[in-house]
Amino acid sequence: MSSPSGPLSDITIIDCTMAFAGPFGTALLADLGARVIKVEPPNGDGFRSVPPYPPHFHQPFKHAAEGADYGMPFAGVNRNKRSLCLDLHDAQDQEVFFQLCEQADAVVENMRAGVMDGRGLSYEAISARNPKIVYGAIRGYGDPRTGASPYAEWPCLDVAGQSVGGLVEATGDLFGIAIADIYPGTLMALGLVSAIHKARRTGKGEFFDVAMYDAMLTLLRANVASYSLTREQSKPGRRSLVPFSLFPTSDGRVAIAAPVEAHWQILCEAMQRPDLKDDERTSTNARRSENQDFTEAQIAAWTTTKTKQEIVDLLGGRVPVGPANTLNEVFADPHVTARQMLDPCELPGDNPDISLAANPIKYQHTPTHLYQRPPRLGEHNAEVLEEFGIVKTGNKGRA
C-alpha cells in the first residue's frame, strides 16, 4: 500500500514526540491510518542514532539523500510517518508550526512540563488559533493543568517510571522492555482518539496528559485493590492462581496456566500424576496457592524431562500453555505468518530489507498494514508544507 487506509485516515496529528513513549503511541495511530507529521528539530529525534544500524547508515545531522539516517529502534516506532524539520526556537518556524496546528486535529509531545509553554507554543496559544485542537502530552509526573505533582518538573525515563509506580516491587525486577514508555504511549493514543471524538461532537478540544507514574500504577489495579483492604504488600513470585508461571524444560522454558480445576485435572493426567488431583496440598486452587512451592516443584520435575515442543504437543489446545519463544522462533512461527505480524520494509539507499512488527489491531475489511517506511530526517519538508499550503522563506533542515 502507498497510502493510509485505516479507520483514522481522516485524522491529522502534529507529532512533536521523541525517543520512545510518544512515538510508540503515534505509531499506533499512524498504523490505523492517521496522517502523522513528525516534527523534528534540525538535528533530529535523538532516538535516530540508537543502534543497531543498517550497513549504509548516515548520522542524522548529515545529508543522507540515499542512505538511512536512523537505527532500527527508531524504525520500529516511526513507520507510516512523515518527517518535517522545524526549529521551534525560531519565530518563523514557530509560525509554520501554528499554521500546521490550525489544520490539525491534534498535537502531541512528551517533553517536560513547561518546555513548550516556554517557547510560546502552549496548549492555550495553539487553541487560540484552533479551538477544536486536542493537545496530548506524556510526562513523567503529569502536567499542572490536570493535577499538580511535587515531581512535575523532574525528568523521567523508563526505569524510573517502572520503579516509582510500584511495578518493580510488585514484580521483583525491572521489565526487560520499556513498559513505562510503551504503556503510557498506548494510553495516550486511546486518550487522543477519545478527545478528538468529543471535539468533533462539541466543537471544542482540550488538553490531556498521561503521566508515566500514573500509567504504572494503573497496571497494578488488582494489587491496589488488594492492598487497600489488607495493607499487605504482595510478594513478588507469590501467586493467588497456581499454577500460573514459567517452568524449565530441557531446552528453555514454558508457561503453564492451570488454576482452573478442569485444566488442573488435564495437566495431572498429562504428567501421569493422578495422585495430585486428590492430594490435600493440590486438590484446589486455594490449596495450591498455599502450597505454591510444592506444587510448582512437582510440575518442574516433569517439564525438565521434556522439550518445549513436547510440552506444547501434550497440552496445546487443552491447557493454556506457551513456549518461551526466542525471536528466532517467533519469526518462524506459523501464527506470525498467518496473522501477518511482520511487515517487510525497504530501507532507503543500498540497504537490506527489514521486517517491522505489524499492527496487532486487525479489522475484517479495513487493512492497516505498513504503507510508508520510516522517514529520513526532514525528508518531507517540501511535501508537507505544500500539502498544508504553507509558504516558508528560507529553509532550516533538509527539504
Name all domains of the chain by residue range, CATH numbers in brackets. 12-219+339-387 (3.40.50.10540), 244-328 (3.30.1540.10)
What per-residue confidence (pLDDT) applies to 398? 43
Lowest-confidence region among 39-43, 137-141, 148-152, 366-370: 366-370
- Cα distance between residue 302 and residue 300, in whole Å: 5
Average pLDDT over residues 211-239: 91
Give which of 23, 124, 9, 136 is closest to 79, Cα–Cα: 23
What per-residue confidence (pLDDT) applies to 399? 40
- Cα distance between residue 140 and residue 216, in whole Å: 11
pLDDT at 397 over 50: no
CA angle 94, 99, 101 (to 5 degrees): 95
**Percent residues over pLDDT 90 in the chain:** 88
DSSP 8-state assignment for residue 6:
S
pLDDT at 394 over 70: no
Got the DSSP string for 60-126? Answer: TTS--SSSB-S-HHHHHH-TTEEEEE--TTSHHHHHHHHHHHHT-SEEEE-PPTTHHHHTT--HHHH
- Cα distance between residue 274 and residue 184, in whole Å: 45
135 and 42 in contact (C-beta within 8 Å)? no
pLDDT at 347 over 80: yes
Cβ neighbour number for residue 147 with a 10 Å cutoff: 12
What per-residue confidence (pLDDT) applies to 29? 98
- Cα distance between residue 79 and residue 74, in whole Å: 9
What per-residue confidence (pLDDT) applies to 63? 54
What are residue 54's DSSP bridge partners? none
What sign results for the dihedral spanned by CA atoms 16, 21, 23, 28? Answer: negative
Q: Which residues contact 341 (CB under 8 A, 6 or more apart)?
A: 335, 357, 358, 360
Average pLDDT over residues 253-260: 97
Peptide bond into 41 cis (omega under 30): no
CA dihedral 176, 224, 216, 192 (to 10 degrees): 140
Up-side HSE of residue 233: CA atoms within 13 Å toward CB? Answer: 9
Say which of 181, 209, 214, 343 is annotated catalytic.
181
SS3 163: helix
256 and 321 in contact (C-beta within 8 Å)? yes
Indicate if 87 belongs to the active site: no
Pairing mode, strands 244-249 and 252-257: antiparallel
**Percent residues over pLDDT 70 in the chain:** 96
Give which of 200, 174, 165, 188 is closest to 17, Cα–Cα: 188
SS3 268: helix
- Helix, strand, coil content of the chain in percent (nearest 5): 40, 15, 45
Name the helix (H) or strand (E) containing 168: helix 167-171
DSSP 8-state assignment for residue 57:
B
CA angle 373, 6, 19 (to 5 degrees): 45
Residue 272 amino acid letter: Q
373 and 347 in contact (C-beta within 8 Å)? yes
Pairing mode, strands 134-139 and 207-211: parallel
Pairing mode, strands 81-85 and 342-345: unpaired
Q: How far is CA 114 from the centre of its chain?
A: 24
Query: Residues 27-67: pLDDT tens digits?
Result: 999 999 999 999 999 999 999 999 999 988 888 766 555 78
